[in-house]
């Protein structure tokens, strides 16, 4: 089920009513309802997908208890490896099997050994990259003794399958989300109202901005060799906003929906295009994934390489980014995308300046103290990120290189077919987010806000009408393919 679909529009109120008015008496019943609803939501795509998530759930529930039950480091490790092996194996097979086979065959072909192409017709289960990472973090945290496993199977199963974040994140940590499933939720008016606002904002970003940018971007990338340099540059910039609006929009809907049910998810995007350097960017973009990779990949690697000084840190970082690229997709374009981001850290890590003043903004994570003098840095960072998007979006490495070649060898004149409507909406988006940069999301209005009630309601109604009127052809969320 998609968030921007008729079915979800019917599904959500039904679950909401049942949850708060009918099946509210006991915690266990609350959880069972959410579990059933989540499986319905997920099974809507393909009922076969359910078997995989159920399998992963049962295994990790069992493994969690097993790790905790013994003190022997070797046994604990073995149980952990079982969980990791299973989840990574699942991911590896469904997502990467064909890619590995193709790459293997290409490699052999390039040295002259012919092999028959071989590909299985594997359907990628929606959300598998997300829920496997979520359950792995559970096993890993138990192994690190950061967390105790739960004996409440229903709570755990619901934590794994919870429909707002099942399909495209945020990737929630057990230490943050699982306790919320172990406590009966009480209705919180402020949280729920803010949740609705956030959902509205997310829909606006997805339906009005992302879906309307898509046709323009698709045409350019499909036919890049006939486009002018200026058009290609505009194309990737529009794509940057498309993917931001699409993904952060989805996240807003997910977080907002969770709030309706009394759950508090962690923030996943923090206005990333206002970043002043690449390090800040990765603290603001897809925060749940970067922090996952940071905690479970980068940190262990860097600790093991710590005696190799800056080179060690760089190696750990670069490897982590390659893995991030691979997570995003089974293709060399994604791996190169990741690698480029890793390379962008070279000046950051190897500069004479201490890392701290570059990597952190001392103003604190909640107060976005940006100055106008930061704008050149923001633009530079944005353009660096756009360059990587060429690889992210292109159909193949060859296409990406061809695209880049044109940009850097031709003089950029005014682009053709400029999508003025999309650009207008993007400007509205960035302006609104700039003014709201201290808030959790673009449409958050606290009590102390200076925006009067009439104006707020006009904004809500206008946004809703705009969403209905401009609902273009339903484009799939970009991150569903991950």
Partner 1 sequence: MKNFLKKIGLFLIVFIVINMIINYTYELPAKKAIENKIHKNFLKWTDIHNNKNTYDLVTIGASRAYTAFNPKILDSALNLESYNMGTSAQDIAESYYTLKEVLDYQNPKYIVLDLFFPSSDNEHDYYQIYSNASFFTSNNYKYDLVTEGYGGTGVANYFIPAIKFKNYIKQDLNGLFSKGNTAKQEVNWIKGFLYDTVTVTKKQIDKFTPISDFQNTAFDEVRFKTYFNKIKTITKENNIKLICVRTPYPPSRLALNKVDDEGIFFKEFMATTEIPFYDLNSYRSATYKYNDFDFSDYHHPNFRGAQKASMQLVEAIKKDIKQN
Partner 2 sequence: MSNYITEFETLFRDVLENEDIVLTPETIASDIEEWDSINHIYLVVEIEKHFGIKFSSSEILQWQNVGEMIDSVKAHKEN
Residues classed as catalytic: 328
Is 313 a residue that touches partner 2 (CB under 8 A)? yes
| Residue 368 binds to partner 2 (criterion: CB under 8 A) | no
CB 359 within 8 A of CB 277: yes
The set of long-range contacts for 226-229, using a CB threshold of 8 Å and a minimum separation of 24, is: 227/406, 227/416, 228/406, 228/410, 228/412, 228/413, 228/415, 228/416, 229/406, 229/407, 229/409, 229/410, 229/411, 229/412, 229/413
Which range in 8-16, 255-263, 267-275, 361-369 contacts partner 2 by CB under 8 A? 361-369
Is residue 350 close enough to count as binding partner 1 by CB under 8 A? Answer: no
The string of DSSP letters for 215-251 reads HHHHHHHHTGGGS-HHHHHHHHHHHHHHHHHHHHHHH
5 binds, among partner 1, partner 2, none (CB under 5 to 8 A by kind): partner 1
Among 34, 238, 260, 302, binds partner 2 (CB under 8 A): 302
- Contact segment (CB under 8 A) with partner 1 among 5-13, 159-167, 269-277, 410-418 equals 5-13
The SS3 assignment for 372 reads helix
Q: Is 218 in the site for partner 2 (CB under 8 A)?
A: no
Give CA–CA dist 237/4, Å, rounded: 25
Work out whether 306 is an interface residue with partner 2 (CB under 8 A). yes
Integer Rg of the chain from CA: 23
- Nearest approach in angstroms of CB 29 to partner 1 is 18
Residue 7 contacts which entry, partner 1, partner 2, none (Cβ below 5-8 A, type-dependent): partner 1
Q: Quick one: 56 or 212, whose CB is closer to partner 1?
A: 212
Q: CB–CB of 381/278 below 8 Å? A: yes
Distance from chain centroid for Cα 305: 28
Using the minimum distance from each CB to partner 1, give the nearer residue, 7 or 410: 7
Q: Is residue 74 near partner 2 by the rule CB under 8 A?
A: no
User: Is position 187 an interface residue for partner 1 (rule: CB under 8 A)?
Assistant: yes
Helices 229-260 and 189-203: crossing angle, nearest 10°? 160
The nearest distance, CB 77 to partner 2, in angstroms, is: 10
Binding site residues, partner 2, CB under 8 A: 73, 144-146, 283, 294-295, 298-300, 302-304, 306-307, 309, 312-313, 317, 349, 354-357, 359-360, 362, 364-365
């Amino acid at each position: 089920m998609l968030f921007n679909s008729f079915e979800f529009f019917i599904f959500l109120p039904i679950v909401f009513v049942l949850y708060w008015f009918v099946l509210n008496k006991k915690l266990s019943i609350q959880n069972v309802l959410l579990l059933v609803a989540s499986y319905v939501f997920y099974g809507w795509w393909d009922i076969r997908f359910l078997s995989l998530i159920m399998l992963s759930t049962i295994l990790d529930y069992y493994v969690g208890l097993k790790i905790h039950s013994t003190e022997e480091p070797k046994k604990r490790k073995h149980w952990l490896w079982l969980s990791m092996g299973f989840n990574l194996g699942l991911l590896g097979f469904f997502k990467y099997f064909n890619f590995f086979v193709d790459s293997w065959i290409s490699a052999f072909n390039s040295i002259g050994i012919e092999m028959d192409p071989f590909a299985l017709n594997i359907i990628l289960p929606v959300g598998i990259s997300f829920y496997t990472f979520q359950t792995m973090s559970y096993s890993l945290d138990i192994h690190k003794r950061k967390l105790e496993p739960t004996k409440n199977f229903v709570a755990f199963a619901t934590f794994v399958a919870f429909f707002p974040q099942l399909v495209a994140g945020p990737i929630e940590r057990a230490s943050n989300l699982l306790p919320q499933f172990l406590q009966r939720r009480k209705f919180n008016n402020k949280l729920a109202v803010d949740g609705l606002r956030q959902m509205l904002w997310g829909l606006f970003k997805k339906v009005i901005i992302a879906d309307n940018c898509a046709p323009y971007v698709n045409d350019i990338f499909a036919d890049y060799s006939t486009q002018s340099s200026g058009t290609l540059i505009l194309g990737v910039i529009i794509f940057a906003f498309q993917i931001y609006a699409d993904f952060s929009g989805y996240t807003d809907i997910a977080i907002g929906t969770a709030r309706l049910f009394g759950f508090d998810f962690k923030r996943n995007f923090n206005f990333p295009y206002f970043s002043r350097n690449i390090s800040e960017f990765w603290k603001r973009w897809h925060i749940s994934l970067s922090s996952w990779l940071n905690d479970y990949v980068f940190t262990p690697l860097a600790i093991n390489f710590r005696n190799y000084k800056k080179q060690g840190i760089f190696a750990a970082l670069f490897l982590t980014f390659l893995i991030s690229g691979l997570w995003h997709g089974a293709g060399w374009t994604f791996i190169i995308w990741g690698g480029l981001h890793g390379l962008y850290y070279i000046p950051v890590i190897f500069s004479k300046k201490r890392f701290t003043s570059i990597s952190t903004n001392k103003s604190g994570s909640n107060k976005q103290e940006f100055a106008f003098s930061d704008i050149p840095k923001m633009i530079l960072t944005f353009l660096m990120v756009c360059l990587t998007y060429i690889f992210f979006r292109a159909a193949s490495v060859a296409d990406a290189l061809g695209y880049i070649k044109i940009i850097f060898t031709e003089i950029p004149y005014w682009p053709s077919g400029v999508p003025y409507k999309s650009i207008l909406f993007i400007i509205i988006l960035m302006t609104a987010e700039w003014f709201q940069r201290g808030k959790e999301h673009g449409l958050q209005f606290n009590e102390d806000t200076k925006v009067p009630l009439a104006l707020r309601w006009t904004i809500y109604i206008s946004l809703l009408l705009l969403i209905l009127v401009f609902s273009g052809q339903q484009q799939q969320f970009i991150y569903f393919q991950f």
